[in-house]
Structure 1
């Protein structure tokens, strides 16, 4: 074999570097998978079971690296390719009727511990794992077009939906890396690490983050109930128990604060009933506790109107009833406030804020109770 000349060696090395450089560019593009440079899926096209050349790309969730490509493939057929980092858990795209997670139908994909990639349909009937139903929902996926591809530390969910117009309100979610991917036979979906709702224009690929539906009404409902039942009512009870020696201040202060708490709390419960009707979520336990609280509040008002005189023999029984119903109301109301915060998924700030207020109230009540007991002794 003829020995290469120095010029031939240089050209040969240059060719190798060009090939490696081209591979590096493609490899980086696949890992980043951004819409800024190209909409082409590159070497993955051979593994996707439908045409991807006309898909419109959108960086739907930049902070988590989610990229969505979509377009209409026929009169009642839409193509989708969702790309996201492989976080050793699941990635999900939900098509929501109202912008909320609950009530959405979703496509979820993951890579199992044995390396096999899986895609499943789910119906998000609630916020607990038992209410997320596998192989349910209103998404009709065209058979033999779905594929889940793991490549370059990313996960690609490719599927086609039979629909006249898919929802433009998308709920995107990523599972916790600490959780194992769903496993057979239940394929139960555990809580997500992060999620977002976006409104997407399929024609332009423009996607905008959406606020949770009726977020203002949710916030109003929570604040009214926390302030009315969870703060004012306990304060009014403290005044009645520990400040009776300040006459007649304690009675007017107690009555006005309790009435204010009742009216504000009633407004909170009414706003909650309106909210339940609009977003159609299953909050039966929270609603039942709220109705019990308002019932106890109404019974307290009726009891005040029927209060016997101080000289009556029935007064001690009335006092027992009035005091204990009030205590039960306060305990149930505080529990339901925390439960509502949990259901709303509004974050730890709400728990901390209400917990601080409640802690201050409890601390004051314990101090005054200790003082009362000491004085009686």
Structure 2
């Protein structure tokens, strides 16, 4: 029997994993105060006493400043954002929704448009209806707001395109519960260059709305904004469960069952890893289902389908531990083949879906994506090293290459070094060589 030192204990493995994943901190990064330069520019443009100001870092980086004259219900606004310089066209939109929720449909919007090569800047009012959401043409239309001093300009100092306007708020707009919506897009149509095309479909676009209190100057985000931490919990649980612990269980089963490192306790640790990974991953999947139900106005069907596939087949894999054919059952071979194929497929699909989730959350430009790719790279490197060692040993055993090594050392020492298999059968290469 080959003597090998056992791998580190399971608790130590989990401790390392959780310590490594602690870099995924729970931070609320939805909104910040406006930048000093933006506020300074707003005050220079008659927004002297700022009533409300925010910078929405995770929603296209839009900055909003407002000055409310409460006696007259006059609202001065300044909305700015960086339209992508590498794009020939672009547009910036801001509006108010008199309905019960801050959402796109029903918004009375002011939109500024950057035409090709910045030849001219256009502006107009748009009423966003349910037909717009269905993909119908979005063209200028009257809105139910009294607008004056409406302008769309470029401020080179900030590198911002900015909407400026004064609005007289009708009585149906509640000052303590004002629904504002903003958006940034790229493509425009050809109808006088005022036809707008669909914006992006990431969370940074779908999160572009908020309910604010102009009297207190505070925003109380929509339900979707309040779910930002829940999204992070969903992502972290799936990274730990599907993306880390399950692959560790596969590595244990693949490389500690027989060779290159025979270990009698491999099965217990393999089942433990798969069970913990399944429970953690299923919890993350359940949180994702809740998030999908809570998002009434948008969905990510591909991400959800992949998640359902992972959960369903991971459940089947777990049932194999309880219900499996006996050692002499003729179906055992087919069961093992299915178990292995599905197991490796789950690892691939899980990796793809986790990266897709990071992209949906628009965190692929932060530390999330590099951190997860670091985890995947470490696990892949360990797996590759074990595979190389396993195949090298398999080839040596099959073709008797150990005999070449045995000629260079005393026979007894070669036999001690090689040893026998766990089942007690003597390998061909264990036979002493007569000089």
TM-score (norm 1): 0.69
Matches within 5 A, 1:67-106: 67-70=65-68, 81-84=77-80, 89-93=90-94, 105=107
Q: Is the 8 A contact 2:310 2:349 kept in 1?
A: yes
Matches within 5 A, 1:217-366: 217-245=230-258, 246-280=262-296, 281-348=298-365, 349-366=367-384
| RMSD, matched Cα | 4.3
Q: Is the 8 A contact 1:168 1:202 kept in 2?
A: yes
Query: How far apart, CA to CA, are the structure 2 residues paired with 1:329 and 1:352?
Result: 21
Task: Report the Cα offset of residue 342 of structure 1.
Answer: 1.1
> Residue 202 in 1 paired to residue 214 in 2?
yes
> Residue 184 in 1 paired to residue 202 in 2?
no
Q: Is the 8 A contact 1:146 1:159 kept in 2?
A: yes
Q: Is the 8 A contact 2:51 2:66 kept in 1?
A: yes
Q: Is the 8 A contact 1:33 1:67 kept in 2?
A: no
Query: How far apart, CA to CA, are the structure 2 residues paired with 1:324 and 1:102?
Result: 45
Structure 1 unaligned residues grouped into runs of 5+: 1-28, 41-54
Range that drifts further, 320-329 or 345-354 = 345-354
> Residue 168 in 1 paired to residue 185 in 2?
no
Residues 1:93 and 1:321: Cα distance change in structure 2 (over 3 Å): same
Task: Report the Cα offset of residue 221 of structure 1.
Answer: 0.7
Q: Is the 8 A contact 1:171 1:198 kept in 2?
A: yes
Q: Is the 8 A contact 2:146 2:169 kept in 1?
A: no
Query: How far apart, CA to CA, are the structure 1 residues paired with 2:65 and 2:370?
Result: 35
Task: Report the Cα offset of residue 142 of structure 1.
Answer: 1.9
**Residue number in structure 2 paired with 1:372:** 390
Query: How far apart, CA to CA, are the structure 2 residues paired with 1:321 and 1:273?
Result: 28
Q: Is the 8 A contact 1:240 1:251 kept in 2?
A: yes
Residues 1:85 and 1:308: Cα distance change in structure 2 (over 3 Å): closer
Task: Report the Cα offset of residue 223 of structure 1.
Answer: 0.7
Query: How far apart, CA to CA, are the structure 1 residues paired with 2:339 and 2:381?
Result: 23
Query: How far apart, CA to CA, are the structure 2 residues paired with 1:164 and 1:144?
Result: 13
Question: What's the secondary structure of 2:111's corresponding residue?
Answer: strand
Structure 2 unaligned residues grouped into runs of 5+: 1-36, 156-161, 396-435
Residues 1:164 and 1:214: Cα distance change in structure 2 (over 3 Å): same
Q: Is the 8 A contact 1:229 1:261 kept in 2?
A: yes
Range that drifts further, 250-259 or 366-375 = 366-375
